[in-house]
Amino acid sequence: MQNRPDTYVLAADVGGTNTRMAVVSGDGEIHALLKKPTRCKEGKEAMLQFLLSFMREIIRKSELPCEEIAGAGVGFPGPLDAETGIIFNPPNLTGWDGIPLRRILEDELKMPVSIENDANAAALGEWWKGAGAGTNSFICITLGTGVGGGIILDGRLWYGASGMAGEIGHTTIIRNGIKCTCGNSGCLEAYASARGIIDRVQNVLSERGDKRGIRECLTLERISSMASQGNEMIGSIIRETGIILGIAVANIANLLNPEMVALFGGVTNLGETLFKPMREEVKKRAFEKATEPLKIEVAKLGDNSGILGAAKSILLRISDSERA
């Protein structure tokens, strides 16, 4: 169901480094967008106050009367329960375990609030207004510092039985593989995240006794430019990452048979060196019937995916409640 273009909602994309907020219309126009550093080091109370005063500032900046804002959608670092809006101990935020963020914001703002984990919000935004627009089944894989994911089936986020669905980064790709931050080993994230790629390059450099390479602060940009200058060792690590990603996408294709898998985040800047072996691996491993309709695309909205997804989350909640 479409929301009317003259419905306006507040949308917040709360990240570990920056928080972006805007007012978004029912047809996805972004108004009054601002970005500020997230005050996540100062504890829960300071951060709550930061979020609330930032939200009020955006409403003022939009010049809409508060009653015209139909609700607020928030993308927040998980894990969290989107149904109740309770946050469960995000790794980068101390003092946030069991915090009923949705209820706190609803009490303060006097409007309906929806909370999504950040990967789901990015997926929802990209499905609504980005690469996935018009699809009915859409999977978004976020390849950033970590690897996250969001699953949209029949035009709705799929949360699973306990809100854990979409954790594609922690599906096992290699038995007895590299230890992952989650405690498992061989997870997709341990290889295909920015951290996973940088660590693997660093390990090979140190095995080869390349002191300069180890001393240099390795970034994805640096790795990418070394690969394009013909560094064969780095090229082969990126190609291996493409193959590993291809295994993950082939698993998704066979399991869910989606119309589209969109890749999002800094790792996608590695370009064709990563994508070519990935596509070949998907074709090699998945059923032809599943890969024929499958489009694999790079996400389109960049930094705006989270904001638009947070907006769509509350718009869906509002239209559900109007229908009920």
Which C-beta is closer to Zn ion: that of 20 or that of 170? Answer: 170
The answer to whether the bond into 79 is cis (omega within 30° of 0) is: yes
Binding site for Zn ion (CB under 5 A): 170, 180, 182, 184, 187
Output the smallest distance, CB 8 to Zn ion, in A.
39
Q: Identify any residues that bridge with 262 across adjacent strands, giving them in sequence order.
A: 140, 297
Which C-beta is closer to Zn ion: that of 170 or that of 200? Answer: 170
Output the smallest distance, CB 163 to Zn ion, in A.
17
Which C-beta is closer to Zn ion: that of 111 or that of 190? Answer: 190
Burial class (CB in 10 A: 0-12, 13-18, 19+), 102: buried
**Torsion sign, CA atoms 56, 59, 63, 66:** negative
Would you list the DSSP string of 91-109?
Answer: TT-TT-TTEEHHHHHHHHH
Burial class (CB in 10 A: 0-12, 13-18, 19+), 237: buried
CA 194, CA 299: separation in Å to the nearest integer? 17
Amino acid, res. 92: N
Which C-beta is closer to Zn ion: that of 199 or that of 259? Answer: 199
- Assign 136 to helix, strand or coil: coil
Output the smallest distance, CB 192 to Zn ion, in A.
11
Which C-beta is closer to Zn ion: that of 125 or that of 146? Answer: 146
Residue carrying structure tokens 């869910």: 256
Which C-beta is closer to Zn ion: that of 178 or that of 298? Answer: 178
